[in-house]
Amino acid sequence: MLKQATLTNGQILDYEEVSNPPRGSMKYTYFAPDKSYVIQFFNNKNDITEELMERLKAIVGKYNPTIAENNGGAVGNDENTAKYFAQKFCWPVSIVKEPEFGIVCPAYPKNFHFGVDASKHLPLRGADKKSKWFTSKNRRYLNINELGNFKTMLEISLDVSTAVRRLHQAGLAHSDLSSNNVLIDPKTGTAVVIDIDSLVVPGIFHPAVAGTRNYIAPEVLETSELELKNPERKLPSVATDLHALAVLIYEYIFFRHPLIGPKIFSTESAEMDDFLAMGKEALFIEHPTDTSNRPEDLAITIKQTGVYLEELFLKAFVDGLHNPSARPTAMEWERALLHTLEQLHKCEYDDCLAKWYILSDPKHPICPFCGVKSFSREVVRLHLMSPIRGQTGQFYETNVINIHNNMPLYKRHVYTNCYKNEKSEDDILATITKLDGRWYLVNKNIPNMYSPKGNKVHHSGAIALDHNTIFMLSKSENGYCAECEIINV
Ligand SMILES: [Zn+2]
């Protein structure tokens, strides 16, 4: 039956009231007639306290990164950043006052629902693409087209890190990050963080949830039996989000949990064993010196994800597992994932599920996922060098990127001060092409590119990339100098 909801700003929205609406632990959901938004009401009306209403008002308004500041959203947010973050979060946009207190959320984009042919074995049509479908043993029942590959799982990790970084920048903590609260689409390498209404605003509101099994930080689980008022009790916070974020990234990449290994922590009961394994005695399955929790069949390990991610996994699960302040920040994950994405090498074996891998030894390009050696005889890399301030013509190496055919280059590959984030648009500035056995960098939209001989390269012009070719990607301020390296294998 078509009903109407009145929002706190006076606006009226239609929704379809049905007799058995989808129900979560806190709320139930009705859809808009065109399915573009949902209206959610609370299961237990006693949960609607003054504090909850205040908290939701702040989340919908001044903390909302999906609405521009001049439309009532977060401070400093413009239309572009609002659009950017609207793709990373399913963030409540309004509060309903009639017929009862509730919230309005945008509907999840269509690609986060399974289609008709997602699985032959499971009735998944229309179900949300919760991460666990892709990282648990259930993935074997999914159609191969749904699974994505190593590259798209890194891109998903990057999306989630960006979303969490944005929350933390505003002083918010998600408090319940888990495979249930992040939808992922491995086909497109995108993710969206949902269930934003449990956000914790530190210092103002008390967290209402402890988190979800397997994602709760060890210190929260360890102290969960203490009274809420006890100062020893650890509650969800930015630091506990950072544990959950690291667990999610590890799961996306390896399809296993970083703390679930063969070690028995208690013979008293399965509950006690689990309580210790995820809490006080939690031990990384890939701990470099204590191998007591290491499964026997670890074919792919953190080493194969390259130096940037290996370092952060060790920081998260060795240094920071029982020391929250040592955990990598979401921004550190973003940077490491971006660098890692630039080290990807294409696996040339058609049946390889991973499709991409990290080239740790350029002289031996062998895919660790399928064991097949690269058929082509060369590995091509671009060394990006930043100008040394005050010393004209002097550069130092900043970054090395692995080159593949039809690779796009963005602002971050041309200018030293650009990153992939809400402030840098994703326009393609150049592309790398292989033609008749030779590599070329084709200028699409770089204003001040110069050839090795010092000639200006206009739009659509190209530079041939041979071993030791050195040229200016841009002579504008902060432009990189690039050197090509061709390694014969
Ligand atoms: Zn392979």
Query: Both tokens of residue 30?
Result: 């009705």
User: For the chain, what percent of residues have pLDDT higher than 90?
Assistant: 68
Q: How far is the CA of 372 from the centre of ligand 1 (A)?
A: 6
pLDDT digits 0-9 by tens, 304-339: 999 999 999 999 999 999 999 999 999 999 999 999
Q: How far is the CA of 228 from the centre of ligand 1 (A)?
A: 50
Q: Is the pLDDT of residue 195 over 90?
A: no
Q: How far is the CA of 12 from the centre of ligand 1 (A)?
A: 54
CA pseudo-torsion sign 357, 361, 366, 371: negative
Q: How far is the CA of 366 from the centre of ligand 1 (A)?
A: 8
Q: How far is the CA of 255 from the centre of ligand 1 (A)?
A: 17
Q: How far is the CA of 148 from the centre of ligand 1 (A)?
A: 14
Q: How far is the CA of 340 from the centre of ligand 1 (A)?
A: 17
Q: How far is the CA of 199 from the centre of ligand 1 (A)?
A: 40
The whole-number average pLDDT for the span 261-276 is 94
Q: How far is the CA of 364 from the centre of ligand 1 (A)?
A: 13
Q: How far is the CA of 405 from the centre of ligand 1 (A)?
A: 17
Q: Give the right CATH number for 376-488 from 2.60.40.10, 2.60.40.740, 2.60.200.20, 1.10.260.40.
A: 2.60.200.20
Q: How far is the CA of 310 from the centre of ligand 1 (A)?
A: 20
Cα–Cα nearest to 148, from 408, 354, 359, 301: 354
Q: Where are the beta strands (DSSP E) in 195-247?
A: none
250, 318 contact by CB (below 8 A): no
**Beta-bridge partners for 173:** 200
pLDDT of residue 393: 80
Q: How far is the CA of 159 from the centre of ligand 1 (A)?
A: 24
Cα–Cα dist 118/115, whole Å: 6
pLDDT of residue 292: 97
pLDDT of residue 424: 74
User: For the chain, what percent of residues have pLDDT higher than 70?
Assistant: 98
Query: Both tokens of residue 373?
Result: 């050696």
Which long-range CB contacts under 8 A does 352-358 form with residues at least 24 apart?
A: 353/144, 353/147, 353/149, 354/149, 354/150, 355/149, 355/150, 355/151, 356/149, 356/150, 356/151, 357/150, 357/304, 358/304, 358/305, 358/306
Q: Is the pLDDT of residue 391 over 70?
A: yes
Q: How far is the CA of 188 from the centre of ligand 1 (A)?
A: 20
Q: How far is the CA of 105 from the centre of ligand 1 (A)?
A: 41
Q: In 231-380, where does DSSP find H-type helix? A: 238-254, 270-278, 307-314, 330-341
Q: Is the pLDDT of residue 360 over 90?
A: no
Q: How far is the CA of 328 from the centre of ligand 1 (A)?
A: 29
Architecture of domain 111-342: Orthogonal Bundle (1.10)
Q: How far is the CA of 135 from the centre of ligand 1 (A)?
A: 19
Same fold yes or no, 1-107 and 376-488: no
Give domain limits for the chain: 1-107, 111-342, 376-488
Q: How far is the CA of 180 from the centre of ligand 1 (A)?
A: 30
- Using a 10 angstrom Cβ sphere, with 0-12 exposed, 13-18 middle and 19 or more buried, the burial of residue 109 is middle
The whole-number average pLDDT for the span 451-459 is 95
Model confidence at 208, pLDDT cuts 50, 70, 90, reads low
Q: How far is the CA of 434 from the centre of ligand 1 (A)?
A: 22
Q: Is the pLDDT of residue 203 over 70?
A: no
The whole-number average pLDDT for the span 152-170 is 96
pLDDT digits 0-9 by tens, 415-428: 998 888 887 767 89
DSSP tag of 319? I
R_g over Cα of the chain? 25
Q: Which CATH superfamily is domain 1-107 in?
A: Phosphorylase Kinase; domain 1 (3.30.200.20)
Q: How far is the CA of 149 from the centre of ligand 1 (A)?
A: 10
Helix (H, G, I), strand (E, B) or coil at 7: strand
Cα–Cα dist 210/307, whole Å: 33
pLDDT of residue 207: 57
pLDDT of residue 276: 96
Q: How far is the CA of 182 from the centre of ligand 1 (A)?
A: 28
Model confidence at 205, pLDDT cuts 50, 70, 90, reads low
Q: Is omega for the bond preceding 262 within 30 degrees of 0, making it cis?
A: no
Q: If you average pLDDT over every residue of the chain, what do you get? A: 92
pLDDT digits 0-9 by tens, 71-117: 888 988 999 999 999 999 999 999 999 999 999 999 988 889 888 78
Q: How far is the CA of 373 from the centre of ligand 1 (A)?
A: 8
Q: How far is the CA of 375 from the centre of ligand 1 (A)?
A: 12
Q: How far is the CA of 299 from the centre of ligand 1 (A)?
A: 13
Which string of b and e fits 341-360 if b means at least 16 CB within 10 Å? bbbbbbbebeebebbbbbbb
Q: How far is the CA of 151 from the centre of ligand 1 (A)?
A: 12
Model confidence at 457, pLDDT cuts 50, 70, 90, reads very high
The whole-number average pLDDT for the span 180-209 is 82
Q: Is the pLDDT of residue 354 over 90?
A: yes
